[in-house]
Structure 1
């Protein structure tokens, strides 16, 4: 199974880009022919074409009919603030993903669609009866809750229960240092606002959860994408190179069962990452929403558990593990508590107290551990079922992640298949998948898709996976048949 940080054509495009920036190829120079590049780089014709098209899109080269590709004189990629150097290989990028995301989500929220798109557990996996009783009990015991504003940072009862759960994962946090938020989304927004200001650079994983990219876009922050693999997570070695070159305010990371590639960093790499950030004085915003959804014997320790310097701003929620509709998350901002709490007060005043009281009661009961055990068992079965179905139905050249927690699968399609077009054709067949381009910036991840395994796997899901496999084959054949046409048009 392949889980490389970049596709063949992206590596080739990056290599040529570096040669242009280093002056190997100068403005007006003609690049080697497609045939020459195929031979010298030992890659396919399709890979060379994709690489040249990517360079053309980024503004580095231009195609001249019946002549070839030439280096352009204009500045490449307006979103890049600094030209990449041989030392870093990366540059911060401006972000513009909201329109793409909105376009996709307008089409997938339909009851007649087989939903592999939204990363949510099925409602049947939510302990809604016990939660509704707990919330009703809270409202009966103190009906005046409806007439009062909540405490800004959260009610003491819930914060104490959160501190208890954090201690079980190795994080020892004073309840008074916690801020209850409207989901992990608000927690991460607060964390970003206390460590960075508009125009600052923040490191993200590539691929990265599209909600994080939207946050950075809204806050006018710049993203510095660092590759992440399904096996090992964030590439710490590349991050170290980037930190030596760029001024970075924070790293946003999901070390346990990252969305979308499902990666889980080893403990030794978590410690190495934290030491690296401590050495550079860079904050870590840790997203741990999937941490409780592990399939093994023990829960992965959050990086926050190793934090001695206050480097980590820890964010999580119960939206993936208990009840999405309650929208309860939390932030452990360390030394940034006062600033984060002030921003919380100006943005939402507080999180609804009745929900907080009901959740605190549920967390204090014996039901919570039974719920988590049952949920993990069910999600593991669903992930394994879809993983096996994809391997059986998709064509050769497909790679599928096999996460050890969470409930999303990251699929690399054959190189010539465009995932956005697959998304469109799948919707026409009543199936929703999320194209990889939503999880990246700078024109990457085009032949990848994310599939959510939150729903029970039955015959309808099995048939949908088979249909997706047929669509992938169809797109692959179309792309290969189009290669001679492109070659004639451009050479």
Structure 2
């Protein structure tokens, strides 16, 4: 159907109106929808506009038509309610596909991100601006434009500042963490990590024969400072891995006073800290201070991924570090990650 710009928005409004009618009907076996003429009169639009909205819903399988009778809505099927199944993994998969559910795990059982995101629109625009070349300039640690944007994004003061040369971008978070384990020499060393923790991180540490001490989070979403201090005094701790602002998978927000106390304790012991910043973008307030804002930047590394807040189109992982520059560059060269320069540029523009 050829439409003007105005009509384009009109049929979208009709589409939204119909989806609202269908959702309000709930699990009704059959719902007869208004006829083309009834809906056109009710919404003061043309019949062709209503017909086009109905055709979109038919393609999605949400509406079906009966000759000389009209349009009907398909009965909606409500997924199994949480905890009602006998198999835990099946329950997770079922609920991951529930409408409105946001899965935060690194091993998402279902891809919930739409493909028509602003990232892809930016990428298409950049492809028109930058003609395809047979060979791009090799940037093994990531596109310079994206590294520059990330360095500026993580800079919060003259003390806590980063440069593009401090940023390293890999194909995914797993590959970046494997490089960090090698560069930091964590094999057969002791690492303290908050618990519960992302099991992908735990599996990587286990594969490297790292002695992992899990520090349980208390009910208030805080860490037992006395227990942490006892571990730092009694164990040869090589590294402490903590969340930036949100503790996952629990999703709890650590109080700012407690973050300051942790940073003070780690500073007194001169501990190296690896900050997990994967979920910070999910903090709705946006201006909550991060743990790194209170830590010594010369004893700090930060790792994160774009996937949690941009989507599956941006699976890249990255790390920020002021140290081990030659070792990090060497490992990224050895890995030879194949990253799309245009997509990296699009991520930079999106950020």
Give yes or no for TM over 0.5. yes
Map of 1:171-190 to 2, 5 A cutoff? Answer: 171-190=160-179
The secondary structure found in structure 1 opposite 2:323 is helix
Map of 1:142 onto structure 2: 130
Structure 1 residues 105 and 135: CA distance shift in structure 2, 3 A = farther
Structure 1 residues 248 and 350: CA distance shift in structure 2, 3 A = farther
Q: Which has the bigger relative contact order, CA under 8 A and spacing at least 6?
A: 1
CA contact (8 A) 1:254 1:286 kept: yes
Q: Give the counterpart of 2:195 among 181, 206, 218.
A: 206
Q: Distance in 2 between matches of 1:299 and 1:127?
A: 29
Structure 1 residues 206 and 345: CA distance shift in structure 2, 3 A = same
Structure 1 residues 337 and 274: CA distance shift in structure 2, 3 A = farther
Q: Is 1:256 aligned to 2:245, yes or no?
A: yes
Q: Is 1:119 aligned to 2:104, yes or no?
A: yes
CA contact (8 A) 2:241 2:274 kept: yes
Q: Is 1:243 aligned to 2:228, yes or no?
A: no
Q: Give the counterpart of 1:359 among 340, 343, 347.
A: 347
Structure 1 residues 218 and 246: CA distance shift in structure 2, 3 A = same
The secondary structure found in structure 2 opposite 1:315 is strand
CA contact (8 A) 1:172 1:305 kept: no
Quote the offset at 1:224 in angstroms.
Answer: 0.6
Q: Distance in 2 between matches of 1:137 and 1:286?
A: 34
Map of 2:262 onto structure 1: 273
Q: Which runs of 5+ in 1 are unaligned?
A: 1-102, 364-491
Map of 1:387 onto structure 2: none
Please give the per-residue CA displacement for 1:323-381, whole angstroms capped at 9, x wherever unaligned: 23311232111212322222222224353322201212222xxxxxxxxxxxxxxxxxx
Q: Distance in 2 between matches of 1:119 and 1:169?
A: 30
Q: Which runs of 5+ in 2 are unaligned?
A: 1-86
The secondary structure found in structure 1 opposite 2:307 is coil
Q: Distance in 1 between matches of 2:151 and 2:186?
A: 29
Please give the per-residue CA displacement for 1:265-294, whole angstroms capped at 9, x wherever unaligned: 233332332333233332111011111222
Map of 1:380-399 to 2, 5 A cutoff? Answer: none
Q: Give the counterpart of 2:309 among 310, 317, 321.
A: 321
Structure 1 residues 274 and 104: CA distance shift in structure 2, 3 A = same
Q: Give the counterpart of 1:288 among 246, 265, 277.
A: 277
Structure 1 residues 114 and 232: CA distance shift in structure 2, 3 A = closer
Larger CA Rg, structure 1 vs 2: 2
The secondary structure found in structure 2 opposite 1:199 is coil
Q: Distance in 2 between matches of 1:270 and 1:165?
A: 21
Map of 1:436-475 to 2, 5 A cutoff? Answer: none
The secondary structure found in structure 1 opposite 2:194 is strand
Quote the offset at 1:193 in angstroms.
Answer: 2.7
Structure 1 residues 253 and 350: CA distance shift in structure 2, 3 A = farther
Quote the offset at 1:295 in angstroms.
Answer: 2.7
CA contact (8 A) 1:291 1:299 kept: no
CA contact (8 A) 1:344 1:350 kept: no
CA contact (8 A) 1:195 1:250 kept: no
Structure 1 residues 113 and 362: CA distance shift in structure 2, 3 A = closer
CA contact (8 A) 1:158 1:357 kept: yes
Give the helix-richer structure, 1 or 2: 1
Q: Give the counterpart of 2:141 among 122, 134, 153.
A: 153
CA contact (8 A) 1:145 1:354 kept: no
Please give the per-residue CA displacement for 1:426-471, whole angstroms capped at 9, x wherever unaligned: xxxxxxxxxxxxxxxxxxxxxxxxxxxxxxxxxxxxxxxxxxxxxx
Q: Distance in 2 between matches of 1:350 and 1:155?
A: 11
The secondary structure found in structure 2 opposite 1:332 is strand
